[in-house]
Amino acid sequence: MQVKRYLVPVLLLCSFGLTPPVNLGLSGTDDTQEFLKLFALRTPKTITKVLDRTGNTLGIFSEENRIIIPYGDIPKGFVDALVATEDAGFWTHNGVSVKGLFRAGKNFILSLGTKKQGGSTLTMQLVRNVTRKRQKKITRKIQEINLALALEKKYTKQQILEQYANEVYFGGGRYGVESAAQFYFAKSASQLSIEQCALLVGLVQSPERYSKMLLGKSTKDRQFVTDRRNYVLDRMVIEGYLKEPQANILKKRPVLTARENLSGETIGAYAIEEVRKYLYTKYGKDMVMNGGLEVTTTIDSLWQLAAQDALQNGVRSVDRRLGYRGENLKQVKNIMQSHFMSWDQYISKGAQVDGVILGWEGDQLKVRIDKTEVTLSRESLEWAGAKAEKVLTRGTVAKFLVTAADGGIPTQVELHQDPAIQGALLAVDPFTGEIRAMVGGYDFNRSKFNRTTQAKRQAGSTLKPFIYGAAFEHGFAPNSLVSDIPTRFVSTQEFSIGPTQPDGTFDFKPLYGISKVYEPKNYKFDYAGPMTIREALTESRNIPAMRTYTQVGPQKVIDFAKRCGIESNLPLLPSVALGSPEVSLAELVRGYATISNRGIRSPKPFLILRVKDREGKILEEAQAPAPETVVDPQTAFQVIQSMQGVARRGTAAKTNELGWPVAGKTGTTDNYTDGWFVGFSTKVAFGTWVGFDEKKTIFFGADGATVALPIWIEFAKSILPTTLREDFLPPEGMVTVDIDQTTGNLASGQSEKTINGLAFKPGQQPTVKADTASIQNMKRIIAKSASQKPETMLWTPNK
């Protein structure tokens, strides 16, 4: 055997204290110098950290998950445990343990190659980790010895230990003691206890295997890892680093890890992915994966968690209205012996696990999850309908969502199905454009498509504030009356218009032989007659929006929306008034943020505050753009007040439960394919969208107030109290008066409904008070609205 032929003389030479590589001439000086040069200049692969705005880690990018720390941060307990277990003579040898090599070689030869023992010192292991040469060849071993001797001459023992502690692999994809400490114990290496240090050192011998045993739920595996840790503690006693009584106390402590942190949901997965794509483009994959960058994002972790919870709860709620699909159900015969992979994780709140149905007992369903039996009430299964009782029979395996757990044991669960529906939520600081929370879908692991930025969906009524904003900009006031009556719109570009008749009507003929009359309907197919613009937006009336769009001029409306931040194409078509254009959630949130800023354009939403290299040098840092007023502040405030009407009395009146000054607008598209709510306080703008990825009906009646608004409200309840509570106050110079809702005139004692504190530009406020005659006259007009013949309006695209 070739190994035996070379190993015998090498071991003999070692036993006499010679330097085998030099004497045998198997490794040259040039190789040694080249290695030392490489060792001195090398930069260990280190992680790129993605941090939230306060410095908490959101995620990492790495080929090797490693965090470099200096020798002073490595706990003494780890150094002692490592030396005692891996290389007892480390502090006295010159890089090679003659005794260790001789013992390893002797055992190998006498066992005819069946017993393999390392015999490598920590210095030799470091050489192996750096060179990545692990072939079982005598030449490799000789080179390893030579390089270890060279390292010992050039570096101190502490420097070698520092390099080793930052290089060595601990399983679970973690390299270096700092990364391992954070992974297994959720603490820094400097905070490790002695028994935790011993546990980590115990992993070094077979890191991947022992790591899986440590993180698994097998009692046998856990005992094996415990015994391995205790072996390290015994070695520390033998080598004099620990007193035996102290070791005995430490050996009685259970092996505990922060496994619950490993199974929790990733915070900000969609935001992290957006950051990764940007970094790859600007710095290249290798720099991102190995270069040790530090990226501070705009994300607020608490807001992000609240956003994820709100969206998932909301989407599940909507999906359950579609009924229980009973997908991927399985049947097992051995009800009490069956085991599933989902049970091997540390089960915490939010986990999705398999459950074996044990059967019904009266109104309760008994379910087995691993060694635990949980109970579900029939009431909690009502959403699943009659199908649940038919399919959830003894021996059926279904999915369940853990809603409460204690020490890794589920105590409360709900019947679960992966939602077929999707959703998105985005929250930004309206002044800076910083994204505080981003949720691009129900589950990043199922779909990485980011629906906050990548999805373009029909906007529905969320475009109406821009229509009325343009109207306020061109002479209209919140109390201006607009008719909600049957109306036909015809284009001057597509029709020849005949002379106007005495009764005010006119004839028109299609230029191309086909009629393109556009006759929109309201959501409830009714008509309310003349109404103020404020009420038209509050009630989200389609016909008043279309009439205003036509009177103001489509081009002016589109220009207003573009200035606010809508970047998608808004074609010169009548249907734009009813929200037919496709836009992203990010655009709508930015557009509303500009309005909430009183017309100062909100910067384009962004995620990265700064990027540093591994030395702490700032590579880039976000710079605030110069404030740019794109909408007159008084005009913007009139839009804000109108949107407050939506939140107080209109389609979003549920926001009253917040007890917080907010404004916003719901949105619903034809056939209930998309549901929106976008709104803001004085400090934050955020929006939600719900729908299928493909364009199809959610369910009949799935408007924005039903499917999107509840998510917005749940998120708002969590985050608004963390901000400064402020009322929306009118800019200087505006006049506020109370308005009669029916006539649009000043309110009086005869007013039946009043809009209080409506703000007007100077000289724009009404001067005539509503009286009984004017109110009754308006009521008569309103009563006739539904029965009157459709009125024809010319629609001029370029107006």
Q: Tell me the pLDDT tens digit for each residue of 23-82.
A: 333 345 667 777 777 676 577 889 999 999 999 999 999 998 999 999 999 999 999 999
Per-residue confidence band for 127, with pLDDT thresholds at 50, 70 and 90 = confident
Identify whether residues 163 and 224 lie together within a single domain.
yes
Spatial CA neighbour of 615 closest among 51, 1, 68: 68
* pLDDT above 90: residue 511: no
> Which of these three, 246, 262, 278, is where a domain ends?
262
Burial class (CB in 10 A: 0-12, 13-18, 19+), 131: middle
Name which residue leads in pLDDT, 14 or 488.
488
Same domain, residue pair 109 and 232: yes
Rounded to whole angstroms, the Cα distance separating 723 from 716 reads 11
Give helix 76-86 / helix 219-238 axis angle, nearest 10°.
90
Residue 4 included in any domain: no
| Structural domains counted in the chain | 3
| 552: helix, strand or coil | helix
Segment 478-503 shows an average pLDDT of: 74
Residues 396 and 335 in one domain: yes
pLDDT at site 34:
74
* SS3 state at 326: coil
Say which CATH number the domain at 201 has. 1.10.3810.10
In a domain, 118, yes or no: yes
Buried/exposed 540-560: b ≥16 CB within 10 Å, e otherwise: bbbbbbbbbbbebbbebbbeb
| Reduced 3-state DSSP string for 665-691 | EEEECHHHCEEEEEEECCCCEEEEEEE
Q: In what order do the strands lie in the sheet with 618-621?
A: 57-61, 48-51, 294-297, 608-612, 618-621
Half-sphere exposure of 345 (CA within 13 A, CB side): 19
pLDDT at 513: 37
What is the structure's pLDDT at 492? 61
- Check whether residue 98 and residue 189 sit in a common domain: yes
DSSP-H helix ranges across 242-322: 244-251, 259-263, 269-283, 285-290, 301-320
Q: At 572, which CATH number?
A: 3.40.710
Structural domain contains residue 76: yes
Per-residue confidence band for 498, with pLDDT thresholds at 50, 70 and 90: low
In a domain, 590, yes or no: no
Two structure tokens written together for 255: 């092996």
What 3-state DSSP class applies to 292?
Answer: coil
Q: Indicate whether 299 belongs to any domain.
A: no
- Rounded to whole angstroms, the Cα distance separating 712 from 689 reads 9
The CA distance from 193 to 780, in Å, is 83
Q: What band does 529 get if pLDDT is binned at 50, 70 and 90? A: very high
Q: For position 785, what pLDDT does the model report?
A: 84
Q: Which residues, including other chains, have CB under 8 Å from residue 341's CB and lie 6 or more apart?
A: none
Inform me whether the pLDDT recorded for 518 exceeds 70. yes
Asked if residue 468 and residue 408 are part of one domain, the reply reads no
**Mean pLDDT of the 222-232 span:** 95
Would the pLDDT of 260 be above 50? no
Which of 225, 233, 286 lies closest to 84 in space, CA to CA? 233
DSSP 152-170: HHHS-HHHHHHHHHHH-B-
Whether 708 shows a pLDDT value over 50: the answer reads: yes
Buried (b) or exposed (e) across 748-765, using 16+ Cβ within 10 A?
bebbeebbeebbbbeebb
Residues 403 and 506 in one domain: no
Name which residue leads in pLDDT, 783 or 668. 668
pTM for the full predicted model: 0.85
| Residue 370 lies inside a defined structural domain of this protein | yes
The pLDDT of residue 430: 98
Regarding whether 389 and 505 lie in a shared domain, the answer is no
Distances, alpha carbon 731 to alpha carbons 473, 599, 631, 736, 759, in Å: 15, 11, 13, 11, 9
Instruction: Encode pLDDT of 539-573 as tens digits.
Output: 999 999 999 999 999 999 999 999 999 999 999 88
pLDDT number for residue 265: 60
**What percent of the chain has pLDDT above 90?**
73
State which residues form the domain around 189.
67-262
Tell me what the pLDDT averaged over the chain comes to.
89
Share of the chain above pLDDT 70, in %: 88
Residues 332 and 246 in one domain: no
What distances in angstroms separate CA 344 from CA 66, 78, 213, 259, 272, one per listed residue?
A: 26, 29, 11, 11, 27
- φ, ψ of residue 183 to 5 degrees: the values are -70, -50
- The answer, yes or no, to whether residue 753 has pLDDT greater than 70, is yes
Question: Is residue 387 very low, low, confident or very high in pLDDT (cuts 50, 70, 90)?
Answer: confident
Pairwise pLDDT comparison (455 vs 150), residue with the higher score? 455
CB 639 within 8 A of CB 652: no
CATH number of the CATH domain containing 381: 2.40.50
Q: Are both 390 and 509 inside the same structural domain?
A: no
Buried b (16+ CB within 10 A) or exposed e, 335-374: eeeeeeebbebbbbeebbbbbbbbeeeeeebbbbbbebeb
Whether 453 has a pLDDT exceeding 80, the answer reads yes
Q: Are residues 486 and 573 in the same domain?
A: yes
Is the same domain home to 71 and 185? yes
What pLDDT, on a 0 to 100 scale, did the predictor assign at position 109? 53
Q: Is the pLDDT of residue 110 over 80?
A: no
Same domain, 91 and 206: yes
Q: Please identify, among 383, 412, 441, the residue that sits at the C-terminal boundary of a domain.
A: 412
Task: Specify if 624 maps to a domain.
Answer: no
Position 16 in a domain: no
Sequence-separated (6 or more) residues with CB below 8 Å from residue 285? none
Q: What is the DSSP letter of 572?
A: S
Residue 685 is predicted with a pLDDT of 99
Query: Among 562, 563, 559, which Cα is nearest to 628's?
Result: 563
Which of 354, 386, 412 is a domain's end point? Answer: 412
Q: In this model, does residue 616 exceed pLDDT 70?
A: yes
